[in-house]
Amino acid sequence: MSSFVSVTALKDLLSQGAPVRLIDVRWRLDRPEAGHDDYLTGHIPGAVFAPLDTELSTHGAPSEGRHPLPSTATLQAAARRWGVNDGDIVVAYDDAKSTAASRAWWLLRQAGIDVRVLDGGLRAWKAAGFDVATDDVTPEAGDVVLEEIGGDALSIDEAAAFPASGVLLDVRAPERYRGETEPLDPQAGHIPGARNLPTMLHLDAEGRLLDPETVRATFAGVGVTPGTPVAAYCGSGVTAAHTALILSEVGIDAKVFPGSWSQWSNTPGRPVATGDQPG
């Protein structure tokens, strides 16, 4: 079953009264506090705002990275606040090519939830001519019980060892991978052995997933084919979940290193590679 849902399929589910809980996961690294304001300017009717920084991640020391995983208890409390009951379908969306929504997908899938990502996000919903709402939705609390999360996450030591037995993907922009620029973290470069494959290569100009054959060929170009052990990291563990989502869509399971480069570069003694080669 696909992890994506089209806007027309979502509209049909909502019209049929299916047990769907919508979450709006609008977030950007450069203005994380503005997501709720953006939500209030217009969201899919019935959607609850889900703040990535406090419900889909936690905070700690720099050596833990910018977006460490929340506890299962924190995620369960959030899901109940969103109104999720056992058996519900959760559909996550954003307005940034599904990167933040993918973080919700990655966590909730581990927790045993039937979760989908809206293909094309809010932009596709509006382009289809569907209505938006401006209320601040506060549903009746849900009763969902989540399974323990974290099984699909790599520790920093596991990430360091991963290239010896599989493909570790650095899904950031090429210039950050090469070490030519680093706008956020104390060191520039990449984890030795990692291969660069920016996650946006899998989407069209409208933010929708490309056809499966094209996606598989792109992954094959860096050595990822069915059966290949693969893991992904990015700057802080958000867009890496997007790559995990895309891989899942073409039948390949992937791990994510949630600490990502923000944890690696803030941990003394970790080696750093630069240039186009894995290092």
143 within 8 A of 85, measured Cβ to Cβ: yes
CA distances 202 to 24, 26, 34, 54, 58, Å, are 22, 20, 27, 28, 28
CA distances 266 to 64, 231, 236, 270, Å, are 8, 20, 12, 9
Q: Write down the catalytic residue from 234, 238, 241, 246.
A: 234
Residue 234 designated active-site: yes
Active-site residue list: 234
